[in-house]
Each structure stands twice: as C-alpha cells, then as structure tokens.
Amino acid sequence: MRIAVTGTPGTGKTTATERLASKLEERDAAESSADFDVIHLNTVLEDEALYTEVDADRQSKVADLDALAAWLEGREDTIVESHLAHHFDADRVAVLRCAPEPLEKRLLERGETEAKAAENAESEALDVILAEAVDEHGLESIYEIDTTDRTPDAVAAELAAVVTGDREPSAGDADFVGYLT
C-alpha cells in the first residue's frame, strides 16, 4: 500500500510524518507502522538530482515527475510526503490544509520570500492541491485534514487514522476562499 501525504508547502506534512510512527504505535498498530517507510520526496529530488531546472524567479527546482515516478516504482508499503506526492500512484491521499494567513506566516518564518509565501497562500485559498488530488485519485481516496491551529501530534494522529483505515475519506471541508476577497 502506498499513502501520499500532500498539501501546499507549510501545511505541516514533514513535521506530521516525522511523528507518524509513534502515533501508529499508540493506536496499537505496531505491525502496520513497522511495514511502512516514510519517503520525503523533496529530499529524494535534491539527493538524486531529479529536477529539470532551477526556477530563478521562484527560487525552486522544477521536479522531473517522470524521473520521480521511476524512482518510486516498485516501492510499496510507503508513505510518500511532498507537495508533489499526489502526482504519483497511491491507494490513499491525505491532503493537509491550513488557513492562508497562518500558512503565509509559517512560510515567512522559515525564510521564504514574501512573493513565494503569498503565492502559496493564494494556492491554498484556491484549493489547488486538493483539486489536483481529487482529479488524479478520485474522491474515494482523498482524506482532507485541516491543520490550522492544530498541534503536529494531533495532525499525526489524523494521519495514523488514514493509514490504519480508521478514517473515512473526505474532501471539501476546509473553505478558505474568503481569503481572496
């Protein structure tokens, strides 16, 4: 089984997946957690140079999705974490969401430019990643998790419920369109 954990940069994907193993153990699902490897796809992109170019305006690397798909091929029982994770085969897709204002603040605090933080906040308000994930995988595979004002441990517990099948699919519950007005 492959589980994708995706969302706009700054929604808490990396932090939550780093805490996921302990949450699975707390849920008495030690057998499940032992079989899953967490793949931080952005690290793979960097370490394996799986990008086509560097976008100077956005100060980011342009991922080579075909090369990343080839790298992931044959890797099962994984949790793939990245804002790109929904572009690849997955049995379940957890889409982490966050209100645009705190999202923008998080991104600025970690050193992103104002332009990049604003672009990501707008993307979050427009449901860009959620819409892409639903289009790619269908509503029955999507598990939307609002991380706004939630601790990383609470988000990791929600992810554990997705992994163990103790949570129903959901999409469209978080509504941040008011940010755009």
What's the pLDDT tens digit per position in 160-169?
999 999 999 9
> b or e along 146-157 (b: 16 or more beta carbons within 10 Å of the residue's beta carbon)?
bbeebeeeebbb
Q: Is 164 annotated as a binding residue?
A: no
Q: Is 110 annotated as a binding residue?
A: yes
Beta bridge pairs of residue 169: none
What pTM was estimated for this model as a whole?
0.93
Is the pLDDT score of 34 beyond 60?
Answer: no
Is the pLDDT score of 118 beyond 50?
Answer: yes
Whole-Å CA distances, 70 to 35, 36, 50, 86: 22, 19, 10, 15
What's the pLDDT tens digit per position in 132-158?
999 999 999 999 999 999 999 999 999
Q: Is 15 annotated as a binding residue?
A: yes
E-state strands within 27-129: 37-40, 51-55, 60-63, 78-81, 92-97
What's the pLDDT tens digit per position in 53-72?
998 887 789 999 999 999 99
Is the pLDDT score of 28 beyond 70?
Answer: no
Q: Is 106 annotated as a binding residue?
A: no
Q: What value does the CA radius of gyration of the chain take, rounded to a whole number of Å?
A: 16
CB 153 within 8 A of CB 23: yes
Distance (Å, rounded) from C-alpha 3 to C-alpha 94?
7
- The CATH code that applies to domain 2-170 is 3.40.50.300
Is the pLDDT score of 31 beyond 60?
Answer: no
Computed over every residue of the chain, the mean pLDDT equals 93
Please give the residue that has the higher pLDDT: either 178 or 97. Answer: 97
At which residue do the structure tokens 């554990």 appear? 160
Please give the residue that has the higher pLDDT: either 27 or 4. Answer: 4
